[in-house]
Amino acid sequence: MKRFADVICVPAEKYAEYVEKHDNIWPSIVQMMRKAHIENFTIFHRNGYLFKYYEYTGDDYEADMKKLSDNQEHQQWLEFTAVCQKPVETAEVNQWWAPMDEIFHIL
Amino acid sequence: MKRFADVICVPAEKYAEYVEKHDNIWPSIVQMMRKAHIENFTIFHRNGYLFKYYEYTGDDYEADMKKLSDNQEHQQWLEFTAVCQKPVETAEVNQWWAPMDEIFHIL
């Protein structure tokens, strides 16, 4: 199992919309995330920042992520929620959620 | 089980020291965190920000946290690592790690 965390911004005027969309996430998206071996997926918020945490339990991360990114409904979900997000200033070009490094862990 | 996340800053010139201290965390600290029902404890870093994620699996969070904060060795550990940290601008007075809100979760 490998742990992942990413960060992105949510403009204040888009926060309620972002939460409302996730309160009503399309069931197909949840299903395909589980099939992609994504577990314990959580989003936290503070002061305009969103912090995403999840665990990958499969054995081919690249292949599982490609399946998600190739899926048309998944693309639609990302576009649907992307209007509520803004990459952090230090994100690379074409990077949406910006990855964080795991620097410490206790089981 | 309840999930927690907190955020704090690490000045660039203190990052290496922070990581080095956690690479050599005192075994007693790990032991007392486990006794306090803290599990899956992870710290992530990006661009001067530290995100802490953990799960609390006990049934009296306040009491377990008080045991930690009353413990002298635990206080020493916090002082030892605090020199590498700086609260985020939106932290309240006397708040060190600033709490984030869980807004979405998929098991």
- The per-residue pLDDT for range B1-28, each reduced to its tens digit, is 999 999 999 999 999 999 999 999 999 9
Label residue A30 by pLDDT band (50, 70, 90): very high
CB atoms within 10 A of CB B89: 8
Token pair belonging to A98: 């910006």
Q: Which of A95, A77, A97 is nearest to A85 (CA)?
A: A97
For residue B52, the enclosing domain spans 2-96
Output the pLDDT for position A107. 78
Distance CA A24, CA A22 (A): 5
| Mean pLDDT across A5-21 | 98
Q: pLDDT over 70 for what percent of chain B?
A: 100
Rounded to whole angstroms, how far apart are CA atoms B65 and B88? 22
A102 found inside a domain: no
Looking at every residue in chain A, the average pLDDT score rounds to: 97
Establish if A25 belongs to a structural domain. Answer: yes
**Domain annotation covers residue B106:** no
Question: Would you state the pLDDT for residue B107?
Answer: 78
What is the rounded (10 degree) CA torsion for A91, A96, A102, A106?
140
Question: What is the rounded average pLDDT for all residues in chain B?
Answer: 97
Asked whether residue A57 is assigned to any structural domain, the reply reads yes
Asked whether residue B50 is domain-assigned, the answer is yes
For the complex shown, is ipTM > 0.90?
yes
> pLDDT tens across B22-67, in order?
999 999 999 999 999 999 999 999 999 999 999 999 999 999 999 9
The position carrying tokens 């995100």 is B51
Q: What is the CATH number of the domain that holds B21?
A: 3.30.70.1090
CB proximity B12 to A under 8 Å: no
Taking each helix axis from N to C end, the angle separating A27-35 and A72-82, rounded to the nearest 10 degrees, works out to: 120
Look at A3 and B41 and tell me if their CB atoms are within 8 Å.
no
Read off the tokens for A68. Answer: 């998600």
* Number of domains comprising chain A: 1
pTM to 2 decimal places: 0.96
Q: Do B33 and A106 count as a contact with CB atoms less than 8 A apart?
A: yes
pLDDT at position B74: 98
The rounded distance, in Å, linking the Cα atoms of A53 and A73 is 22
Residue type, A95: Q
Do you know the residue count of chain B? 107
Best to test chain B binding among A24, A39, A40, A103 (most B CBs inside 10 Å): A103
